[in-house]
Amino acid sequence: MPPYEKHVLVCTSCEGCPGFQLLKALRQELKRQGAPPHIRIQGADCLDACDFEDTVMVVYPEGAWYGKVALEDVEEIVQGHLLGGRRVERKLIDFPARTVGGVPLAPGSSGCATSQESDGTPTSST
Ligand code: FES
């Protein structure tokens, strides 16, 4: 079916975070809204953004990174962003504002302290 108009990756790797619940809720809400076939939502391993926010998801092609996404935010994100094309600004991760020693950070520039291998073994960042 690709290419998708929107491709959503939800971190389901965060230890103790509700990533799987978020993934399920996003899919349910999208289905409730009519489940357009051009939108794909899938779970992903660590997105290397867990040092910034937990419960992380990213929407492509925009590259809109959302953090601290709660189940209460799902309807707004699905209706507003995935179907309406309007980012939910209040949930976007402000990467330029995140710095270490004055150096701006971006996704992938820091390690993931809480990610796990598929067997549950914590991974180490390098
Ligand atoms: S972004 Fe969730 S474990 Fe890294």
- Residue 13 CB less than 6 A away from ligand 1: yes
- The pTM of the full predicted model, rounded to 2 decimals, is 0.77
- Residue 112 CB less than 6 A away from ligand 1: yes
Q: What angle do CA 42, 47, 49 make, to 5 degrees?
A: 135
Which of these ranges, 7-16, 28-37, 63-72, 99-108, has the smallest mean pLDDT? 99-108
CB 10 within 8 A of CB 42: yes
CB 96 within 8 A of CB 83: no
Rounded to whole angstroms, how far apart are CA atoms 113 and 29?
30
Interval between CA 1 and ligand 1 midpoint (Å): 27
Interval between CA 53 and ligand 1 midpoint (Å): 8
Domain ranges of the chain: 6-104
Residues 6+ apart with CB under 8 A from 64: 58, 81, 87, 92
Q: Which atom of ligand 1 is nearest to the CA of 13?
A: 3
Q: Mean per-residue pLDDT for 61-90?
A: 95
What CATH number does the domain located at 6-104 have? Answer: 3.40.30.10
Helix, coil or strand: residue 73 = helix
